[in-house]
Amino acid sequence: MGDPGYRTSDRRVIPWLLLGLVVLFGGMYVAACLYTSARLPRQTSVDGVDVGGMLPAGARRALTDDLGGRAAEPLVVSANGRRAALSPRAAGLRVDVAATVARLRPVRSWDPARLWGWLADRHERTAVVTLDRAALTRTVARLARRVDEPAVEGAVTFRHGRADARYPRAGTVVARAAAASVVRRSFLHVGSRDVVALPTRPDRSPISKDAVSRAMADVANPAVSAPLTLRLGHRSVRVDPEDYVAALSLEPVGSELRLRVDPRALLRRLHPALHRLTHTRHGRVSFDRRRLPSQLARAVTRTGPGRTVTLTSRAQGVGSARWSAR
């Protein structure tokens, strides 16, 4: 039989061995927690850049080198079959490397689940991007103006005594707000050879083809079809369309074209005719010039006798004359 004293001493060692193991593994666990809390999770990448297990300073250098180069590359976009290069910096897009790393750094914790997650979990993150919305809006607007194919507006113009119709044609323009979102999402996520398609929308004239046809039939063609007659008592003078159409315009009001008469231009164009009417051997006759544009606007759309505008007048110094249309 063995020595009883030896067996007693052997049993006394076991608690010390267990305590040593606890201290050893506890120290290892504490060291692991401190190690992992100072570094980014082991399987971490930011927009394709591997920064797993790095200290924050090293991660910042790696991201600056890689993402900084990508952020400086022009973004090639296209719309309406045209391409253009867009500068991310000019568009107000920048990578905030410090904020990106700060978001990735784990919170210090003694939780075993946190330690296991640091080792086993995969973290794929995107960089923190700062955005100057005003700069992005301006950049997209400048770009859109280069590639837009705006609608041809329906219109009627007067020149050289005739009326010309311009019928509308639909176009396609960049959808500004949606395009800004696409540019923001594409930043850092497309290659230098990739082309980003910008969203577009149809662009249509508010003045339809039918509205142009109505304006031509109801206003423009009658206005240039025949002369007008200006009458003062027994005196009258004929004015051809060439004498007054420069003062006429058809301007959009909602979905229709409305006749507008420029008062100053009209008096300037009709000055020779008005001079002959108002200057007689008996003196000068005055009239209410403010009503002339509206009276002429009605007369030019009429036919026959309706194209005569009669001026009711009194001698200068007695009263004012007024225009009336028959």
Higher pLDDT: 156 or 281? It is: 156
Q: Among 3-7, 70-74, 123-127, name the one with the lowest average pLDDT.
A: 3-7
pLDDT band at 9 (very low <50, low <70, confident <90, very high): low
pLDDT band at 111 (very low <50, low <70, confident <90, very high): low
Q: Identify the pLDDT of residue 107.
A: 56
- Rounded CA gap, 93 and 184, in Å? 8
Q: Which of 273, 271, 323 is nearest to 299 (CA)?
A: 323
- Rounded CA gap, 265 and 188, in Å? 58
Q: Identify the pLDDT of residue 50.
A: 83
Q: Identify the pLDDT of residue 51.
A: 80
Higher pLDDT: 101 or 105? It is: 101
Percent of the chain with pLDDT over 90: 45
Written as six digits, the tokens of 112 are 């075993």
Q: Among 57-61, 180-184, 255-259, name the one with the lowest average pLDDT.
A: 57-61
Q: Identify the pLDDT of residue 325.
A: 35
pLDDT band at 315 (very low <50, low <70, confident <90, very high): very low
pLDDT beyond 80 at 167: yes
Higher pLDDT: 29 or 211? It is: 211
- Rounded CA gap, 175 and 139, in Å? 13
- Rounded CA gap, 296 and 278, in Å? 17
Higher pLDDT: 27 or 202? It is: 202
| Residue owning tokens 């607007």 | 141
Q: Identify the pLDDT of residue 319.
A: 40
Q: Is the dihedral of CA 291, 289, 215, 172 positive or negative?
A: negative
pTM higher than 0.75, yes or no?
no
pLDDT band at 35 (very low <50, low <70, confident <90, very high): low
Percent of the chain with pLDDT over 70: 79
Higher pLDDT: 106 or 196? It is: 196
Contact partners, residue 233, CB within 8 Å, separation at least 6: 313
- Cα distances from 19 to residues 11, 32, 161, in angstroms, run 14, 20, 111
- Cα distances from 266 to residues 227, 229, 259, 306, 310, in angstroms, run 15, 15, 13, 19, 17
pLDDT band at 115 (very low <50, low <70, confident <90, very high): low
What's the pLDDT tens digit per position in 130-144?
A: 899 999 999 999 999
pLDDT beyond 50 at 324: no
Give mean pLDDT, residues 220-228: 94
Q: Identify the pLDDT of residue 156.
A: 96
Give mean pLDDT, residues 71-75: 89
Q: Please state, rounded to an integer, the average pLDDT across all residues of the chain.
A: 82
- Rounded CA gap, 193 and 131, in Å? 24
pLDDT band at 242 (very low <50, low <70, confident <90, very high): very high
Q: Identify the pLDDT of residue 117.
A: 52
Per DSSP, the three-state class of 85 is strand
Q: Identify the pLDDT of residue 219.
A: 95
What's the pLDDT tens digit per position in 265-282?
A: 999 999 999 888 888 777
pLDDT beyond 90 at 3: no
Reading phi first (left if > 0) and then psi (alpha if -120 to 50, else beta), residue 256 is in beta
| Residue owning tokens 């910008």 | 198
Backbone dihedral angles phi then psi of residue 127, each to the nearest 5 degrees = -70, 150
Domains and CATH numbers, the chain: 48-105+125-155+171-205 (3.10.20), 209-325 (3.10.20.800)
Residue pair 163/223 in contact (Cβ under 8 Å)? The answer is yes
